Chain A
Amino acid sequence: MIKSKEVLFLLLITITLVSISIIMVYSSSSIFASQRFNDPFYFLKRQIIWVFIGIALMLVCSRINYKVWQRYSFPLIICGIVLLILVFLPWIGKEIRGARRQLLIGQPVEFVKLALVIYIAAFLSKKQEIIKDFIKGFLPFLVILSTVFILTVLQPSLGGAINMSIFSLVMFLIGGGRILHLGYLFLFSLPLPYILIWNVPYRKRRILGYLFPFDDPLDKGYQIIQSFSALRRGALHGVGIGNSTQKLFYLPEPHTDFIFSIIGEEMGFIGAVFILLLFLGFAILGIRIACKAPDLFANFLGVGIISMIITQVILNISVVTGLLPTTGLPLPFISFGGSSLISNMIAVGILLNISRMDDRLPKVKFMPR
């Protein structure tokens, strides 16, 4: 199935990232897990299972003609919206530390993001002619985006919502949308930060913790200070895998959103940069695949998938390094968590399929109607 260098390297990078994930999830969670569940392998076992499921689904999706996604893009996004609503039904949704994000099958937000990418790609490729029109081009796009956005915020998953709006706008711009329309959107959404952040105490605390972490080192600024000190302890070549001190009592649940600071501590600047380069390589390869694709839908889909993953990487690492306030986003492929890993692996599978339909292969199947 490997027909080009891009595919080979993309696969290699993906496998490297999930391997690092297995090592780091174990390293960062073992002590926490043995304290909490009396089983140091508690998270490791689950992550390994998810990696296998993810790889299997990736292979399956690489065999599914991506045109299928185009045809079913609307039902898919509707399904996604329904899933997001189901979370609020008390007998289906599970409440975890105040958040209703969890569904029996996992966190729907992760899958909805993928559905949104597919939907926007399909929308943009279909409406190329009228995309610059405010009523016909911009408004329908805005309706779907804001529905999903509001439901995601209500989960509550502000991180997911921010991630979504960034990659949607990136896709909209690439698809030929007008910057002026985005200007209106910007004006319209000015009061949002107040509603979404200042009104919700824990988010307000996170922002304050981000702005003045050392004012209140034990409460609001706690996580970010611990993350700083992990990164600083790591210095150039790190303290060695398994030797992090931050992972025990300092950083709460170090195997999820803040796993990158444990990587920075144990593998140092070298390791952290290596991971960043892997993601950068992933982005460039993915975009090359997208550009080579035979039709507009595939172009947009490929770029959308890459934007979805890469903006999440940028957001997560910015949070860990203190450039942005805490939002609660996992690091793709690496953080512990099934839904995020599986949906990203599916996304990679779709990219692989796009590369199979590369224009170097003889085109037979699709005649433009």
Chain B
Amino acid sequence: MFRRLKEVEKRGVQQRISSIVFLFIISFLILFLRLGFLQIVKGRYFRRISEENSIQFIPITNPRGLILDRNGEVLVKNRPCFNISFIQMGIQKDELERTTETLSQILNIDKVKLEERILEKRNRPFEPVLIAEDVKIEEVAKIGERKSDLPGVLIQAEPRREYIGREKGAHILGYLGKLSQSEWKELHGEGYRFSDLIGKQGVEKIYEKYLKGEDGWRQVVVDARGRILRELSFKEPVPGNNLFLTIDEKVQEVAEREMEGKQGAVVAICPKTGEVLALVSKPSFDPNIFICNPKETKELQNDPTHPLLNRAIRAGFEPGSSFKVVVAAAALEEEVISPSIRLSCRGRYYLGRHGFSCWKKKGHGVLNIEEAIIHSCNVFFYHLGKRLTAEKMAKYAKRFGLGKETGVDLPGEISGLVPSPKWKKEVRKEKWYAGEDINFAIGQGSLLVTPLQMANLACLVANRGEVYKPHIVKRIENLSFETIRSFKPEPLISISLSKETWDILYIGLKGVVEKGTGRRAFSQHFEVAGKTGTAQNPRGEDHAWFICFAPALDPKVAVSCLIEHGGKGGAVAAPIAKHVLEAALR
């Protein structure tokens, strides 16, 4: 066989190579024999056993943490949900026929479609094919009874997220959805399966890692009919932690009811802590549909009224006259006016030849700054705007927290916009006109604020310069009812203005509700201080604003209310804010 070696032959290399080949052949022979023994002698016998009993690995989905309001009222829970799936591995053709027949009868689904769906996954026979989701308990019972006639059919129970209030508080709570490609890349090492749901919006998203918990599994021996004979190992799922919100379900309820059918947002905050008591954005949506209804989800995403948009933090609006609070404070601090000086309003203000009108055509007559706030006199504020200039107003607006995110624990907050001549030159590459100073003073022009920022502005006046960071979650509790994280008030803004300035703002805002533009916010139970706003905008009817706090002497709640294209702030927004205040202070 190896005859071609030459001089080397003498050294016996060939002989040694032959003995190595001989060793290889012996080893291979041993392997042949071993395989024959395992596969042929024992094969038949074992085949029968292994087809009768097999080991199955069953993942157990853990329940996600609950979400509760500040008083322990459950807002989001998990309910048991039964899914029917089918594993086609080892099922004969006629058995499949019978099974689909029976299943389509029980579940009331088209047999042809059912077969199609099963056959689609023919080349992945181990993967359970989902046949029906969230099946009624009676149907589950029927399938359970006939389990022996339905080989390969699996009943799987899993916890399903339920948003009890449906549309109520949807923008706070958020919703769940399948992992996106990028989330999957980031998270698949951390106990996520591809089919898992993950928080996509609201606190579901921000507090995902607290709510998620850990999945468990069971390894069991099952017989040919899928009956569990014995459990081999078990890992208990760890449910997620429970989230207690700062939201008061009752206040939220009232705010939702008041906003029914309108477009806009309401935010109620406790000024002493920054706890958000209610946050409503309308139109709203039902988070439940994201879990199982892709068609409606698509419709929601394409709805021209943008129900998914959280208007309280993700949309900027012109503040209108409610901005006068900032301008008045700036004017007093910069001493461009003193409290006793009176200016006259004849319904119009001229800058050169261009006229700016007051909302009251015949004018307010002669008034001081306090009265100007109460009656929301535009002409008075035009004067202040002219004296202050845009730079100063922008500086104060920023000090008061506008043009910057509040840092609330909800995703996607925008900063709004505080314009200034410098900004306009840099960003828009345009010159700042003197007329813009005038418009700025009554909260018009490029200025954009969010309803949450305006609620913070109300807090700022209520607290005389102190604002705490608004937050939605009060504490997080684990399964043994221990608080694992709690959220303390965190200072956000701290400014000091003279006592006189605060007093004038305070008296002015109280006057707005007692005798001024905000009389419809007057309550018999407590004193309210507030400021109306009616913001002209290029998109249609004016936006109605009302920001307020109460009780005026010892403020416990601050509310900001915006009705998009609602009309006059005093007529539309003020009564809504009053009802929210009453709900919160009852």
Contacts and interface: CB of A to CB of B under 8 A. Distances in A.
Interface of A: 30-31, 34-38, 40, 128, 170, 173-176, 218, 228-229, 231-236, 242-243, 245, 248-250, 264, 268-269, 272-273, 276, 279-280, 283-284, 287-288, 290-292, 296, 299, 303, 307, 310, 314, 317-318, 321-323, 359
Nearest to B38: A231
Contacts of A279: 28
Q: Which of A34, A233, A307 has the most CB of B within 10 A?
A: A233
B484 interface: no
The 8 closest A-B pairs by CB, nearest first: A235-B43, A232-B46, A291-B2, A269-B39, A249-B57, A321-B34, A292-B4, A231-B38
Given A232-B46, A236-B43, A250 B126 contact: no
Contacts of A314: 24, 27-28, 31
14 contacts: A228-B38, A232-B45, A232-B47, A233-B43, A235-B44, A236-B43, A269-B35, A276-B32, A280-B24, A287-B2, A291-B2, A292-B4, A299-B17, A323-B34
B8 interface: yes
Contacts of B341: none
Nearest to A239: B47
B124 interface: yes
B31 A31 contact: no
B31 A250 contact: no
Given A173-B16, A299-B5, A299-B17, 11 more contacts: A176-B13, A218-B233, A235-B39, A235-B43, A248-B126, A264-B35, A269-B36, A269-B39, A269-B43, A276-B35, A291-B5
Given A170-B20, A245-B54, A323 B39 contact: no
Nearest to B37: A321
B232 interface: yes
B25 interface: yes
Contact of B20 (A31, A228, A303): A303
Contacts of B54: 245
A268 B39 contact: yes
A284 to B, nearest CB: 7
Given A232-B39, A245-B126, A174 B47 contact: no
B81 to A, nearest CB: 23
Contact of A276 (B8, B12, B28, B40): B28
Nearest to A290: B17
What bracket does the count of chain B residues touching chain A fall in?
A: 35 or more
A111 to B, nearest CB: 24
A235 B47 contact: yes
Contact of B55 (A232, A250, A269, A307): A250
A310 B23 CA distance: 11
A284 B21 contact: yes
Contact of B25 (A34, A218, A245, A280): A280
A234 B32 contact: no
A231 B43 CA distance: 8
Contacts of A235: 39-40, 43-44, 47
Nearest to A296: B8
A22 B89 CA distance: 24
Nearest to A300: B13
Given A287-B21, A291-B2, A232 B89 contact: no
A45 to B, nearest CB: 17
B31 A283 contact: no
Contacts of B127: 31, 34
Nearest to A359: B4
A283 B21 contact: yes
B244 to A, nearest CB: 35
B50 interface: yes
B396 interface: no
B17 A287 contact: yes
B40 A273 contact: no
A38 B16 contact: no
Contacts of B17: 174, 287, 290-291, 299, 303
